[in-house]
Chains A and B, each alone.
Chain A
Amino acid sequence: MPRLRVFLFSAAVSLWLSSCFGGGPDLPVPTEQQAAAVQWNNQGHAAFKDGDYAQALAAYRKALEINRSTEDADGIAMELVNISTVYDRLGDRANSLNALDQILVPSGIPIPPTRKAEAAYRKAVYFFEDGDAAQASSWSAKALALCQGASCSVEGRIFNLEARMELSKKNTAASLTHARRALAVNRSTGDKIEEANSLRLIADASFQSKDFATAQQFYDDAFRLDKEAGSAAKIALDLMGLGRSLAQQGRRAEAADFFRRTYSVSEGAGDTKAMEEATAEIKKVAP
């Protein structure tokens, strides 16, 4: 009994001492302004997720105002990117690009190069979506240049975008090179979503160069990662790629199975276009 008392007393003293002097560093306490900016940012995300883009825009603007008032360069860049994304969803390309330009054009505020690289990358994506390959390529190159020497989380995405751009120009070899570089970067940063994108791009490029066995293998690898991420549209793309690769190798029965799975996944996601494509492929391989 006395031993137990001694043990309990020692444990209590140790706990008190450790709480007073020991342990790791305390968390940095955010200022009231920073906390408010974070709150507006989170409200913006919630509204964006609900598809309430007007509300999201208002919230991100509030966060931007607060960040400007405290000259939080990182916060300013982040909110401008968010505002650009909302304008993109609203179909307002001019304002979308304008928000990104505010990050890229020197204004005296020391925006970190990684944020500038992010802005340049997003400009490249918008131009690529709009079919302006020259501008997309130019901004992609600028994004890569801004990434040099900085720990840049966007680097893997830039290489993936480069691979997509080359694939659209039917430059299969260049596309494969960029996709493989992207794969290496994304694996090192642990970005599983972008890693799956790299794998799918390698598969797409292999398919385009008629290397159907390799395409099948990489679609399968991408499929496993996309399934973990739970992205229905990408799962459908991977299954469709698997089916097409098998069909090209003459394995029509297996291909038909994958097309049927594509149809099922697309039906669950409500993607009628993908359902139609799957139906067309099923007809092609039907005996």
Chain B
Amino acid sequence: MAILQDDDARFKGLEKKIGIFVLVAVVGILFAVVSIGIQQGVFASTTRIYFVTDSGQDINERMAVQLSGFKIGHVVQLALTETAKVRVTLSINDKYMQWIRSDSKAKLLKEGFIGDAVIEITPGTDKNGPLPEESTIVFARDPGLNDVVGNLYDEVVPLIKDLKRVTEYIASPEGDFRQSVRKTNDLLSSLPETRKKLDAVLTDTANQLPSIMRSGRETLEKSKKVVDSVSRTWPINKNIEPPKAEMLPADSYDNRGIPARQP
């Protein structure tokens, strides 16, 4: 017994309708998958190149490969070599291969200081053109946070040790520094007394200075007279040339220095 009557108008052509719906859904799903694939570069043709590094630390499959900040491919495979090194295979979109030459270099760096790691490839300048499939490029690893901190530690620790040593030296009661400070304090405390004595000496000298100067001038004048009279006495006056006024010379060949000239 039929639960629903077959002659109900709502069920007429139901199978056909369901079939069209399923078909449209499948086509839509396929279209979405293809679109996403195109967007993700699944269907783009790529070239595989690789580099070898001592360690695969921080390098993962699917990791982005960039050139001048643009994503140009990704890491497809990490494999250990016979010498226990890591061979990292990169898949590079063909349209970006034009900038990757034999002198290009790959390096591992962080996006920001603590962001995701990426492989950055530098553009090459080699005139032989883009690298062929399965070529090798040079790899270098940028110093990470640990390396930077380690280097800073090595630099700062000796400085701190030196600073500690200097502080201990200054603080030592028997050290030169403390003794110098003590002596300077003693000297400064005796300064007012010294100044008083100096003031007294200066006052005394200032009172006597005019008479000293006067007598000095008199002595000088008397000495000058004696020297003048002696210098005019024969035979001494024969050997003393008296100062006389002179005229500035004027050279007949040239008045102000001789320029070299053609005769």
The residues of A with any CB-CB pair to B shorter than 8 Å are 18-19, 22-24, 26-27, 29-30, 35, 37-39, 41-42, 45, 48, 63, 75, 78-79, 81-82, 85-86, 88-89, 118, 121-122, 125-126, 129, 156-158, 160-161, 164, 182, 193-194, 197, 200-201, 203-204, 207-208, 215, 231, 233-234, 236-237, 240-241, 244, 262, 266, 271, 273-274, 277-278
A37 near B253 (CB under 8 angstroms)? Answer: no
Q: State whether A23 touches B260 (Cβ < 8 A).
A: no
Check B242 against A27 for contact (C-beta < 8 Å): yes
Among B237, B238, B255, B260, max chain A CB count under 10 A is at B260
Would A240 and B260 count as touching, CB distance under 8 A?
yes
Binds A, one of B12-20, B140-148, B163-171, B243-251: B243-251
A19 to B258 CA separation, bound complex (whole angstroms): 51
Q: Specify which chain A residues have a CB less than 8 angstroms from the CB of B234 in the assembled complex.
A: 18-19, 22-24, 26
Once the chains are docked, how many angstroms separate the CA of A19 from the CA of B252? 46
Interchain CB contact under 8 A, B252 and A197:
yes
Q: How far is the CB of B91 from chain A (nearest CB, A)?
A: 70
B115 within 8 A of A: no
| Bound: A262/B258 CA distance, A | 14
6 residue pairs, one from A and one from B, having the closest CB atoms = A23-B234, A160-B252, A274-B260, A233-B258, A157-B252, A41-B245
B260 touches A273 (CB 8 A): yes
Would you list 12 pairs from A and B whose C-beta atoms are within 8 A, ordered by A residue? A24-B234, A24-B238, A27-B242, A29-B232, A78-B245, A89-B256, A157-B251, A160-B252, A164-B253, A233-B254, A233-B258, A240-B260
Contact between A129 and B250, CB atoms less than 8 A apart: no
Contacts A27-B242, A38-B243, A125-B255 known; A271 to B248 CB distance under 8 Å?
A: no
A160-B253 contact, Cβ under 8 Å, with A23-B235, A78-B247: yes
Cβ of B243: which chain A residues have Cβ within 8 Å of it?
35, 38-39, 42
CA distance A92 to B167 in the complex (A): 71
Residues of the A chain whose Cβ atoms lie less than 8 Å from the Cβ of B250: 85, 121-122, 125, 157
A161 near B242 with CB under 8 A, answer no
Contact A38 B244, beta carbon cutoff 8 Å: yes
Q: Does B45 contact A (CB under 8 A)?
A: no
Q: Are B260 and A81 in contact (CB under 8 A)?
A: no
Chain A residues contacting B242 (CB-CB under 8 Å) are 27, 30
Give A69 Cβ to nearest chain B Cβ, in Å.
15
Point out the residues of chain A lying under 8 angstroms from B244, CB to CB. Answer: 38
Q: What is the CA–CA distance of A107 and B251 in the complex, to the nearest angstrom?
A: 28
Nearest opposing residue in chain B for A196, CB measure: B253
Say whether B251 contacts A193, CB under 8 Å.
yes
Nearest B-chain residue to A266, judged by Cβ: B260
Q: Which of A19, A41, A63 lies in contact with B233, CB distance below 8 A?
A: A19
Beta-carbon contact of A241 and B253 below 8 Å: no
- Chain A residues contacting B248 (CB-CB under 8 Å) are 45, 48, 81-82, 85-86
Give A6 to B246 CA distance when docked, in angstroms: 50
Contact B237 A26 (CB under 8 A): yes
- For the complex, what is the distance from the CA of A234 to the CA of B253, rounded to whole Å? 9
A48: chain B residues at CB < 8 Å are 248
**In this complex, what residue of B is CB-closest to A182?**
B252
Contacts of A19 on B, CB cut-off 8 Å?
233-234
A156, closest chain B residue (CB): B252
Instruction: Give the residues in chain B near A26, CB-CB below 8 Å.
Output: 232-234, 237
Return chain A residues, CB-CB under 8 Å to B192: none
- In this complex, what residue of A is CB-closest to B248? A85
Closest residue on chain A to residue B260 by CB atoms: A274
Residues of chain A with a CB closer than 8 A to B238's CB:
24
